[in-house]
Structure 1
């Protein structure tokens, strides 16, 4: 079509009312005429010519948020080797600036808040700096510092210039050229145009000739005007409808595991990590892409999505992809901000196959390509997203692939001046993470640019390595599900699975706990063992009473793995009863008298106990269909008469290490609690580790205040009795009243006690807590320990050590430990595995996750419970075969954690419907199931509000 007809059609289009423009375009399409190829007529008013593109308007908006950052700078550094003609260099840049309107414009905001683009005719200035007098090493350091400073130094959009040129002289035949443009007038394609036109102009001026560059058909403002009018003609509505349907109503933020907390306002400081993809792997990737009829870009993006899914745990991913947006011949040679951004949504799970993923990526990419003209900023505005300065809207991760990048090092001027690209680490970034891949000189290069606010270099280096591992896995295992693709190096697996679990320590686990206590009785028979209010017993007295009761229990049929229920209030008899059950060879089942009668009845029936120890005043409220023994307080003479048939000597030990020590019931998601049975060996292992770690002595007093239906009480009862310390049993209700607790600590000179963190917070803020100077050890477990509570302990009780322990009922009390320190971390870790325990952080395929990545915590080793009592199916579901050590079991905790680079574990939350409330482990599903049983309840939902209140 000739130019005259083009101009006529363009004028007709501009003159049409908006509602008729679409029909006009449809008619042109019917004639197979591409209106998008037409230049804007030369007689279009100058005011319209100064229109801004949508991309420029968005850049202005972003720049206004933080005009003093260098986040929108496009820096480049070129090494020039050979004889440099300074006059030709300056003339060449003046020529390029004169050709491109964008390089001569600034952007000003009018009093009415409208944005105006104003052309400046001033010539460009080339700044000269001489480094020739510096020693060689200092010269290179100075170049790097100058490049860094230029890349970060902000532009003034209102006054310009928006192109900075600085020439660093390093020697007679060596210079470094620093070019920095603001993103509002340039992008990657434009930088290539700038370098190309500079070289061609430089060659011409060096020959004293005028550059012979093709005349530009249009300027950038013509494109901006065309873009606005074309979209207004109906294209905007069509493409917007596509993107709204594609992206849906929910726009999740990708949550990669940060090394540092996300700031409210980013600094935009970034670092670029370059790495290479092996050439032989690239050829295999090309072959794989061809087999699946996808491009290399689609394959690389698919692998990047797998990486993001593994790191974030999210199955709905949004990745930003820039497109050159230069589909028209007239704009190919322009310098300006043409690039548009698309959001490519990928939905995947660990069960997605490689073929399914590549097909989904292909479909998404082709659909996006057919709707690429909609400006990203219009999409953001149409979706009415809530703006948040801490992260970008719609996506936080970018992927950019360039099939061919010019090799600047292959460029030479006619006079022999050679060019070389200089890379430096420091730069800026608008995104959390960006992956760039580009093909240059037949090689595939890659780089990850990351926000310094969020990540450190070691994390990104691992991420780059893992992406390459996934590329290799795609080639080696194209038939697999993506969750099965190996991502970690063999050395990483070795560290996570084996090196960090070298916890073996020899403990007397073949000796029963009560036998070890009996040995302590022999060492300190007259020392005080037990205190409850005004009552106290020596080690010999406690042992004798427990022995007499143990002999009677054995006479009633109690022996190894026989369960004995015990429902008593806090008392001396509570301790005697627990110890006696162990001595008889049985396992105790604690039944809290405060539990509802229905729950107690269920636990008694489910456990199958044949004998129940209790107190007379509690007997009436308990089920009557099983034998009962009452342990009411009696004086020595009465006990002697009652138990004269039973010896006070230690009974013969009949147990084996794998016999049960106790069965403690915990919440169950089905509406019924479940009993976890822990072995004697596991209990001895746990208490032996605690003594080795924390060293109780005869001078210590341990306050037992945890209800005995919780497994923390187990160490509170038996650790002091193993070591010659005093066991002080708190009075009923005392553990809930901080003032009474403070008084007991002072009176009894308590050195060691346990808190759930919520109770610790109430205690540590109580008036008078500073008087608890006897405290040496404060142990926390049961829920996450807040950093604030830790700081308060350090401040108010400086002589006390604070320990954070973690462990489910399905293991012997605790499985990890952490000695609290003021390390400035955002959370208090749960630490490292205790002796003879193993901790593994795995994904759904039982593969180790990367450092810092969230996964489920699995436990192995000596501390695991034997089973869920009478629940073989549930036992098989939660206690699974270990994929790393044949014959070993792992317990699935359902806890979401991650590991630091030192192996320390940080607790993140639950994977299921379970919560912790004031240290109580609660299955919300259990409550919902019971509510749903009521005839008047159709649906039930239970939640915890503010971490304090259970609401149904």
Structure 2
């Protein structure tokens, strides 16, 4: 039923009718020259009770309407400087630090026929004239950035002779990419750049690029629609049909700073502080180590879901009284839970940020981001998860006015440049305006794929319904993932959707995700019947191999090698040194060290004295490392000179730096220590997120590791010398 009400309100809004709540009653707002459809009015009346319930539930009260009425042109003369909106300010700072080519928004049009160049130029210039944001530049007063609105008097369309590329599509694409990636100077450039590349007398490529600080995804169809109107109006010599804009983006920025402040902002922020308390970054497995500074290098892989499954999913959403967005987001969260093993899942979701009628046809950066957090209970059914996601989503909508930037300020301390704050994965359900069908006099136009792909997050799942079929794509950061990994993820997502459609009451832990081929392979791996000594431990097996093959290579890393004898001797020396330092059997010893030979020496040294190691990846966020150190109640920490720079708050922990203390360690005996380790002793404690959102330590005994080792000898074809 929620879906029906949302659809009805969106339909009314598309017809210029705004349904508002005023003192407990419905109020319809529309312009005098807009005669409403009688059938639509009757539908609203027939569903009055449900609409009232929905509007009350989502807090879209008369207070919101009062705020909306304040969104009007401001007297600019009363402001020394026009502020940036909160979203613009974030992009401005990003640009100052590292540039912002990842925030370029390209439009590439192929034009065939008799093009009127001057008319095309004037059409684009008219758009720049019409929307102040496209002729706005950014300055700073020593404290804060501000915007300056210029005239479009010297805006120019660049003309380029591209005939040399007319028969070479590869070089043409490279040239177009060069145009798209040309950086903007935010202090002096127009925020719309355009180049007309002539390939032949009647074939041109128009490359237009807008900076995200001046536009969002909804702005692109607006820009194209206005381009068509201005071009056609000039060719046909009749006035433009576009209505005059009521406000400009600068008015919105002023309004936002005025409205989102004080007690109102504080009240809204309280929800987000409570909702996002103690969030932990999602630790999805990656193909590559996360770099200290994550770039925006990206790729995208598309996929489609057949019509039959699409229909099943849409019917399920209707039966469960949720929107398709909520259903697909829930399915995506199940996928993330299954991939990460973590139950506390935060996913970002964009919201258009265009609640106000006055900005519907305005080019500008209005989009905001909601953080949707869910506690996954693997024993719950998908239907139960769906209702939980629905409740969280509606609550987020109630508080969507708060800019993401303010939420980050209120809920996080410090920034980790290796990942996005609060969430690392985005879900986008596209319901923005479709790019209009382009028809111009004497011209055939085709929108080309710009080839401009960046990824601002680890992963972004994008889904839309077109002509009854779900189409999707996964945008991913190539610093972290290979194409084939994302291909598998997409396959798992589609299989999961089939499972959900067939058995929505099934427990989340039992929903099928693997393909038939993967399942067959898994069954093959599990067909094992191995006998081994149940008194074995990691150390007893290792030392037995040392006696058997002392001169065989045990470790290889970046051109360096250790034999079994050398590895054993080094770990014996470290074990004796740790005992001298006071490390006792049964204690937990965190080891935070980069991958390499010393990492294995450290692990074996800890195990040889009957202690258990706690792996801490130096790439973990600082708050995660600090929590794990405190939770493990560790007295000692093993690290290296390279990794110690990632650590802080170590006052109560004795740090053993393998690089700095190498001399003392090397003076210890190389002989084996008496074996005191039992199969039931802890080998290590590994942390994963728990249901509370904080990391949870999982204790693994020696016998579990030994069992795993023997189970994988045949499937992995492990033999001596391999």
TM-score normalised over the length of structure 2: 0.68
753-762 or 142-151: bigger deviation:
753-762
Q: CA deviation at 1:77?
A: 2.0
Q: CA deviation at 1:322?
A: 0.9
Distance 1:439 1:172, change over 3 A: farther
- 1:821 maps to what in 2? none
Asked if residue 436 in structure 1 is aligned to residue 467 in structure 2, the reply is no
- 1:80 maps to what in 2? 111
Q: CA deviation at 1:341?
A: 1.0
SS at match of 1:445: strand
Q: CA deviation at 1:760?
A: 7.8
Q: Does structure 2 retain, via aligned residues, the 8 Å contact 1:895–1:910?
A: no
In structure 1, how many angstroms separate the alpha carbons of the residues matched to 2:563 and 2:429?
63
In structure 2, how many angstroms separate the alpha carbons of the residues matched to 1:275 and 1:761?
55
Question: Which residue of 94, 98, 123 corresponds with 1:66?
Answer: 98
Q: Does structure 1 retain, via aligned residues, the 8 Å contact 2:220–2:435?
A: no
In structure 2, how many angstroms separate the alpha carbons of the residues matched to 1:168 and 1:30?
51
- 1:232 maps to what in 2? 261
Matches within 5 A, 1:559-598: none
- 2:513 maps to what in 1? 487
SS at match of 2:317: helix
- 2:628 maps to what in 1? none
Asked if residue 374 in structure 1 is aligned to residue 186 in structure 2, the reply is no
Q: Does structure 2 retain, via aligned residues, the 8 Å contact 1:407–1:440?
A: no
- 1:211 maps to what in 2? 240
Q: Does structure 2 retain, via aligned residues, the 8 Å contact 1:130–1:169?
A: yes
In structure 1, how many angstroms separate the alpha carbons of the residues matched to 2:477 and 2:508?
28
Question: Which residue of 567, 571, 587 corresponds with 1:759?
Answer: 571
Distance 1:119 1:760, change over 3 A: farther
Distance 1:350 1:205, change over 3 A: same
In structure 2, how many angstroms separate the alpha carbons of the residues matched to 1:784 and 1:66?
30
Distance 1:313 1:753, change over 3 A: same
Asked if residue 115 in structure 1 is aligned to residue 145 in structure 2, the reply is yes
C-alpha offsets along residues 812-846 of structure 1, whole Å, 9 cap, x if unaligned?
Answer: xxxxxxxxxxxxxx9xxxxxxxxxxxxxxxxxxxx
- 2:535 maps to what in 1? 664
SS at match of 2:339: helix
Q: Does structure 1 retain, via aligned residues, the 8 Å contact 2:300–2:453?
A: yes
SS at match of 1:320: strand
Q: Does structure 1 retain, via aligned residues, the 8 Å contact 2:131–2:363?
A: yes
- 2:273 maps to what in 1? 244
- 2:438 maps to what in 1? 411
Asked if residue 464 in structure 1 is aligned to residue 494 in structure 2, the reply is no
Q: Does structure 2 retain, via aligned residues, the 8 Å contact 1:272–1:425?
A: no
Q: Does structure 1 retain, via aligned residues, the 8 Å contact 2:683–2:701?
A: no
Q: CA deviation at 1:490?
A: 1.4
Q: CA deviation at 1:171?
A: 3.5
Question: Which residue of 80, 87, 106 corresponds with 1:55?
Answer: 87
Q: Which runs of 5+ in 2 are unaligned?
A: 1-28, 32-59, 552-561, 576-590, 609-618, 620-677, 688-694, 707-722
In structure 2, how many angstroms separate the alpha carbons of the residues matched to 1:497 and 1:424?
44
Question: Which residue of 273, 277, 280 corresponds with 2:301?
Answer: 273
Question: Which residue of 167, 170, 190 corresponds with 1:161?
Answer: 190
Asked if residue 288 in structure 1 is aligned to residue 316 in structure 2, the reply is yes
Question: Which residue of 560, 575, 596 corresponds with 1:788?
Answer: 596
Question: Which residue of 332, 340, 350 corresponds with 2:368?
Answer: 340
Distance 1:757 1:320, change over 3 A: farther
* Total equivalences in the alignment: 544
Asked if residue 141 in structure 1 is aligned to residue 170 in structure 2, the reply is yes
Q: Does structure 1 retain, via aligned residues, the 8 Å contact 2:180–2:207?
A: no
- 2:480 maps to what in 1? 454
Distance 1:716 1:129, change over 3 A: same
In structure 2, how many angstroms separate the alpha carbons of the residues matched to 1:143 and 1:59?
30
Bigger relative CO (Cα 8 Å, ≥ 6 apart): 2
Asked which structure has the greater CA Rg, the reply is 1
Distance 1:233 1:893, change over 3 A: closer
Q: Which runs of 5+ in 1 are unaligned?
A: 4-27, 505-656, 668-705, 727-749, 764-782, 794-803, 810-825, 827-870, 879-891, 898-908, 922-952
Q: CA deviation at 1:354?
A: 0.4
Q: CA deviation at 1:155?
A: 1.4
TM-score normalised over the length of structure 1: 0.52
Q: Cα RMSD (Å) of the superposition?
A: 4.1
C-alpha offsets along residues 670-691 of structure 1, whole Å, 9 cap, x if unaligned?
Answer: xxxxxxxxxxxxxxxxxxxxxx
- 1:913 maps to what in 2? 699
Q: Does structure 2 retain, via aligned residues, the 8 Å contact 1:320–1:343?
A: yes
C-alpha offsets along residues 766-821 of structure 1, whole Å, 9 cap, x if unaligned?
Answer: xxxxxxxxxxxxxxxxx99985328999xxxxxxxxxx99xx99xxxxxxxxxxxx
SS at match of 1:913: strand
In structure 2, how many angstroms separate the alpha carbons of the residues matched to 1:451 and 1:457?
10
Q: CA deviation at 1:228?
A: 1.7
- 2:231 maps to what in 1? 202
SS at match of 2:109: strand
Asked if residue 171 in structure 1 is aligned to residue 200 in structure 2, the reply is yes
In structure 1, how many angstroms separate the alpha carbons of the residues matched to 2:222 and 2:111?
18
In structure 1, how many angstroms separate the alpha carbons of the residues matched to 2:516 and 2:593?
34
In structure 1, how many angstroms separate the alpha carbons of the residues matched to 2:414 and 2:339?
25
In structure 2, how many angstroms separate the alpha carbons of the residues matched to 1:791 and 1:295?
49
Matches within 5 A, 1:524-673: 664=535
In structure 1, how many angstroms separate the alpha carbons of the residues matched to 2:96 and 2:170?
33
Q: Does structure 1 retain, via aligned residues, the 8 Å contact 2:74–2:251?
A: no
451-460 or 124-133: bigger deviation:
124-133
Q: CA deviation at 1:292?
A: 0.8
- 1:99 maps to what in 2? 130
Q: CA deviation at 1:143?
A: 3.3
Q: Does structure 2 retain, via aligned residues, the 8 Å contact 1:406–1:440?
A: no
C-alpha offsets along residues 312-335 of structure 1, whole Å, 9 cap, x if unaligned?
Answer: 211111111111111111111111
In structure 2, how many angstroms separate the alpha carbons of the residues matched to 1:316 and 1:132?
56
